[in-house]
């Protein structure tokens, strides 16, 4: 079944069970919750490009998007999170203790249009591929967050595993230059991190040690501000994690006559002689932490919010979000938002919240136009569910 | 229903993680440098075969083996098989693991026609033997060759086990393997082709009972052998035969005319056999398709005496004889102009024409035969008219790339006194379009020496139809047609100062496919 058809169906089924209920957030009850989302986006090609990558097919010129953004840095990426947590009420020094299990998968890339064009359109009309500011990552983390909430702040520790990770970051002076069809000049000196998965369920090749925290400031009963950080800390890598620095500067004018006659040997020689590898020792790195903030202003039955989100070292552009929320019934709240940033540009999103007795369900569509996959450049869904015990 | 909804959502998310079944593809227009190099003549020819002549011209000298006279060609089949019926009159019982005090000597004379061997050394010798006996129980037969020595100089003994547990004259079959054996077949110079043997019986774990009529019947059949050396009289043998030598490289060449300045063929007769011979080359016929040319030379039909090699023990001397074939004493120019693909040499070889005058001292080492080589000397001073080199080139494309259309651009600086034209086609015969298919010879001075290189630019265009044929067949039929600047003069080619620079770039429109 197409996911586009399934979403409205889920909404209908879910809304059927939503009825009016008072806000129970001050009821001091224990709570289990799940908070899940996934999103994909690009600054320059439509969502259907991803569909083709996932399902196979031909990437037409239309799917490749606009190929003439010559001076722009482009981004592509996505995130997926599955979070299961429990909030335990405390009568003593803190209000709540929380324990979260998070599976976080992110991938992203930041690059010039020329690199995208070279790969997907060729270099026939290309004189230069700029590689400065070019970086890509793929990351899969498992995290355990343990902390507490008290009054207007919360604090916790993060322990986790890097299931797998691949990073490549090019140097500011890197480029590939084409002179007619007889000469390529290249300066390529990226640094790479490769963290392979292990067969051991517990011991992985990277361990995460970090903190979570947030502070909320209420200026008056209508205006408040909240800011937080997640997973700020260090990753310790094992010896099986590879840190490599490539330093290659070459002019390629084709192979020599002898190299063509002995082509198999030539291919082996190229990897061993042209590309210079240096293995680096860097067992500790900063985590790809995220910081966020939101300010809310309530006026009449509407809430106006402005939020931001940023994830470090992930080719992520700070995402700003303007949100307008309205409680449309005693059980339902509906919000709409306009966002800019992340791995895409403008998004028009919506979120429906439903409170019913002990249950709380939220469904978010991060870009309403994302269902038009051949036109829209991002797509995302969020689903959160709370159960008060 | 709430839980069902939650599960449904989870399933939908997970369903999106299923592995992709179809390939991803996209169209790309790439431009890639393929090759760049500066080529000299020694990039094409083996530099070890190129020499400088006193008149400053270079020449190519290569040697073609016409034939080798090996053992099987001039010696009869050597069969050392023999049978023995051995009687062991055993008056007493033989306790376990004891040798019976009876030795049975024997002598075997072999007939090898004219061949009278005094000595032979084997690298390897194996017999398949069949033994029957009326002796009850497992026992051993000890074979001794009194005139044979092993590699270390020890006398030769070997033991074969005969398992005759029922004493029923059952045939016991096995194989005897011997390595590095030197045999005196002359019994200290008194005879030839003769092997002396002695046999003894040894008991195994069982006692051999007394029996005056104990016997062993042994049949030794030669299975295979590898001779290292032979000495004796090899006989007077007449061999009349013909040798066919294929010159495969010539299959790729045709020409309207090839004129080489002073080509030579030196027939080198190298005799490593200690045996005199007389060789008569009755005819040398050079063939190409239906055309043929017979070599005209004073040695054709004439008897050539070949002396024996000399084995001095501390030194070895081949007997060498050479015959020069050049434009002054033959029709070699006509032969070369034919670009022969096959040489048929008919000959008559008589061994030991003077009989056994060396007194059984003919010798033969397997690795030192009598051979005839043709050393071909081709000065790099020539004139070619429409010399066509044709080959089928394999072109492998990675599965990742499916080329739809392509242009191969070639820039050439030519400092060789030859013009080259190309003709390319895919395997079904369809031509690959070439704009400006030729690049011309270098500019020459009045002495036909190179003054400046010529510059040419060629483009080969592969359309979609030819592309799909090429992707299917992975082959290109390549034809290069080579011309000298005119049809009358000889033009020198220098290995170091003549060069050809080229740059080769490919632009193509292709579909990239990732499974």
pLDDT by residue (tens digit) across B391-413? 888 877 777 888 889 888 888 89
- The verdict on B209 touching A (C-beta cutoff 8 Å) is no
- How sure is the predictor about A304, in pLDDT bands with cuts at 50, 70 and 90? very high
B13 contacts in chain A (CB < 8 Å): 36, 38
Handedness of CA B39, B45, B49, B55 (dihedral sign): negative
Partner-chain contact A13 B505, CB within 8 Å: no
Q: What is the pLDDT of residues B126-159, one digit of tens each?
A: 888 888 888 877 888 899 988 888 888 899 998 8
The enclosing H or E element of B7 equals helix B2-15
Four-residue CA torsion sign, A107, A113, A114, A117: positive
The nearest CA of chain A is from the CA of B497 a distance in Å of 18
What is the model's pLDDT at position B80?
87
DSSP B373: E
What is the per-residue pLDDT for B469?
87
Helix (H) or strand (E) holding B140: strand B137-150
- How many CB atoms neighbour CB A12 within 10 A? 10
- For A266-281, write each residue's pLDDT tens digit: 767 766 665 666 666 7
Query: Do A254 and B31 lie within an 8 Å CB cutoff?
Result: no
- Find, in chain A, the residue whose alpha carbon is nearest to that of B393: A261
**Residues B36, A10: C-beta atoms closer than 8 Å:** no
Q: Could you say which of A57, A122, A184 has the minimum Cβ distance to residue B33?
A: A184
Q: How far apart are CA B247 and CA B241, in angstroms?
A: 20
Output the CA–CA distances (angstroms, integers) from residue B231 to A253, B274, B333, B349, in the order listed: 64, 9, 44, 20
Could you tell me what percent of chain B has a pLDDT over 90?
A: 23
- Tokens of residue B424, six digits: 């390319």
In this model, does residue A20 exceed pLDDT 50?
A: no
Residue with tokens 């470090």: A312
* Helices of type H across B394-497: 464-473
Put simply, the answer to whether B31 touches A122 (Cβ < 8 Å) is: yes
Describe the strand order of the beta sheet including B401-415 as a list of residue ranges. Answer: A57-59, B24-40, B499-514, B401-415, B454-462, B433-435
- Helix, strand, or coil (residue A122): coil
Find the mean pLDDT for residues A66-95: 88
Please, is A350 exposed, middle or buried when counting C-beta atoms within 10 Å of its C-beta (0-12, 13-18, 19+)?
Answer: middle
Are the C-beta atoms of A10 and A377 separated by less than 8 Å? Answer: no
What's the gap in Å between the CA of A255 and the closest CA on chain B? 4
pTM, full prediction = 0.69
Alpha carbon distance A96, A149 (integer Å): 5
Cβ–Cβ of A10/B8 closer than 8 Å? yes
- B328: pLDDT confidence band, cut at 50, 70 and 90? very high
**In chain B, which residue's Cα lies nearest the Cα of A3?**
B12
Q: What is the pLDDT of residues B489-500, one digit of tens each?
A: 888 877 667 788
Is residue B12 less than 8 Å (CB to CB) from chain A? Answer: yes
User: What is the nearest CA distance from A183 to chain B, expressed in angstroms?
Assistant: 6
- Please indicate if any CB of chain A lies within 8 Å of the CB of B31: yes
B26/A17 Cβ within 8 A: no
Instruction: Work out how many CB contacts closer than 8 A connect A with B.
Output: 107
Chain A: closest CA distance from residue B378 (Å)? 25
Contacts B503 to A, Cβ<8 Å: 182, 253-254
Q: What is the pLDDT of residue A347?
A: 92
Closest-approach residue (CA) in chain A for B22: A56
Task: Share the mean pLDDT of chain A.
Answer: 86
Instruction: Give the closest of A3, A58, A181 to B409, CB-based.
Output: A181
Question: Is the predicted ipTM greater than 0.90, yes or no?
Answer: no
For residue B230, give both structure tokens: 């032979």
Tell whether A264 is within 8 A of chain B (Cβ): no
Coil, helix or strand at residue B3: helix
């Amino acid at each position: 079944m197409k996911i586009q058809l399934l979403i409205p169906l889920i909404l209908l089924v879910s809304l059927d069970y939503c009825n009016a209920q008072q806000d129970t957030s001050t009821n001091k009850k224990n709570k289990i919750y799940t908070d899940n989302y996934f999103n994909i986006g690009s600054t320059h090609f439509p969502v259907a490009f991803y569909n083709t990558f996932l399902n196979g097919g031909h990437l037409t010129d239309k799917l490749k998007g606009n190929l003439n953004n010559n001076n722009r840095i482009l981004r592509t990426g996505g995130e997926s999170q599955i979070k299961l947590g429990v909030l335990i009420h405390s009568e003593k020094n803190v209000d709540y203790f929380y324990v979260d299990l998070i599976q976080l998968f992110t991938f992203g890339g930041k690059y010039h249009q020329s690199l995208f064009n070279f790969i997907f359109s060729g270099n026939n009309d290309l004189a230069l591929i700029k590689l400065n500011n070019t970086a890509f990552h793929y990351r899969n983390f498992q995290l355990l967050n343990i902390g507490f909430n008290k009054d207007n702040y919360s604090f916790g520790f993060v322990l986790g595993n890097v299931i797998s990770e691949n990073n490549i970051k090019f140097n500011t002076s890197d480029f590939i230059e084409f002179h007619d069809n007889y000469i390529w000049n290249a300066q390529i000196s990226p640094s790479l991190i490769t963290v392979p998965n292990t067969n051991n369920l517990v011991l992985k090749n990277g361990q995460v040690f970090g903190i979570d925290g947030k502070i909320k400031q209420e200026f008056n009963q209508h205006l408040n501000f909240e800011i937080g950080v997640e997973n700020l800390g260090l990753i310790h890598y094992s010896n099986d994690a590879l840190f490599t620095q490539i330093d290659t500067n070459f002019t390629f004018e084709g192979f020599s006559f002898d190299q063509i006659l002995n082509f198999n040997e030539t291919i082996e020689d190229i990897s061993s002689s042209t590309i210079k590898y240096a293995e680096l020792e860097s067992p500790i790195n900063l985590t790809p932490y995220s910081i966020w903030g939101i300010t809310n202003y309530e006026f009449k039955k509407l809430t106006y919010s402005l939020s931001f989100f940023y994830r470090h070292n992930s080719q992520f552009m700070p995402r700003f979000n303007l949100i307008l929320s309205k409680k449309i019934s005693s059980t339902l709240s509906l919000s709409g938002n306009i966002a800019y940033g992340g791995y895409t540009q403008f998004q028009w999103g919506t979120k429906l919240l439903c409170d019913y007795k002990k249950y709380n369900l939220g469904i978010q569509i991060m870009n309403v136009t994302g269902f038009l996959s051949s036109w829209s450049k991002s797509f995302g869904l969020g689903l959160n569910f709370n159960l008060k015990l | 229903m709430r839980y069902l909804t939650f599960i449904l959502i989870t399933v939908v998310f997970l369903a999106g993680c299923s592995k992709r079944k179809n390939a991803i593809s996209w169209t790309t227009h790439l431009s890639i440098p393929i090759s760049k190099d500066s080529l000299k003549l020694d990039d094409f020819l083996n530099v070890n075969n190129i020499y400088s002549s006193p008149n400053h011209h270079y020449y190519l000298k290569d040697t073609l083996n016409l034939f080798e006279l090996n053992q099987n060609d001039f010696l009869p089949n050597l069969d050392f098989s023999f049978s023995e019926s051995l009687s062991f009159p055993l008056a007493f019982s033989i306790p376990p693991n004891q040798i019976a005090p009876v030795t049975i000597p024997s002598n075997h004379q072999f007939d090898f026609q004219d061949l009278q061997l005094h000595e032979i050394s084997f690298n390897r010798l194996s017999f398949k033997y069949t033994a029957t006996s009326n002796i009850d129980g497992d026992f051993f037969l000890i074979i001794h060759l009194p005139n044979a020595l092993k590699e270390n100089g020890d006398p030769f003994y070997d033991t074969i086990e005969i398992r005759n547990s029922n004493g029923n004259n059952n045939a016991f079959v096995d194989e005897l393997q011997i390595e590095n054996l030197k045999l005196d077949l002359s019994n200290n110079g008194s005879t030839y082709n003769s092997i002396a043997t002695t046999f003894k019986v040894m008991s195994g774990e069982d006692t051999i009972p007394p029996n005056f009529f104990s016997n062993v019947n042994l049949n030794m059949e030669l299975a295979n052998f590898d001779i290292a050396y032979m000495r004796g009289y090899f006989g007077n043998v007449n061999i009349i035969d013909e040798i066919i030598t294929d010159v495969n490289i010539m299959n790729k060449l045709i020409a309207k005319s090839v004129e080489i300045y002073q080509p030579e063929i030196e027939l080198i007769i190298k005799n490593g056999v200690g045996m005199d011979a007389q060789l008569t080359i009755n005819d040398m016929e050079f063939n190409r398709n239906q055309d043929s040319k017979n070599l005209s030379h004073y040695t054709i039909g004439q008897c050539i005496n070949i002396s024996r090699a000399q084995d001095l023990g501390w030194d070895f001397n081949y007997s060498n004889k050479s015959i020069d074939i050049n434009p002054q004493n033959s029709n070699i120019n006509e032969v070369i102009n034919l670009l022969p693909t096959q040489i048929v040499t008919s000959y008559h070889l008589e061994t030991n024409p003077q009989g056994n005058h060396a007194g059984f001292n003919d010798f033969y080492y397997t690795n030192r035969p009598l051979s005839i080589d043709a050393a071909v000397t081709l000065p790099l001073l020539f004139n070619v008219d429409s010399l066509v080199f044709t080959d089928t080139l394999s072109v492998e494309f990675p599965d990742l790339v499916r080329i739809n259309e392509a242009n191969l651009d070639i820039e050439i600086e030519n400092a060789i006194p030859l013009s080259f034209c190309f003709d390319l086609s895919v395997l079904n015969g369809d031509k690959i379009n070439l704009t400006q298919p030729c690049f011309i010879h270098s500019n020459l001075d009045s002495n036909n020496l190179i003054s400046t290189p010529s510059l040419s630019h060629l483009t080969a265009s592969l359309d979609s139809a030819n592309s799909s044929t090429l992707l299917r067949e992975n082959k290109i039929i390549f034809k290069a047609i080579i011309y000298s600047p005119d049809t009358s003069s000889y033009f020198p080619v220098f290995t170091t100062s003549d060069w050809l620079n080229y740059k080769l770039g490919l632009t193509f429109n292709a579909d990239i496919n990732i499974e």
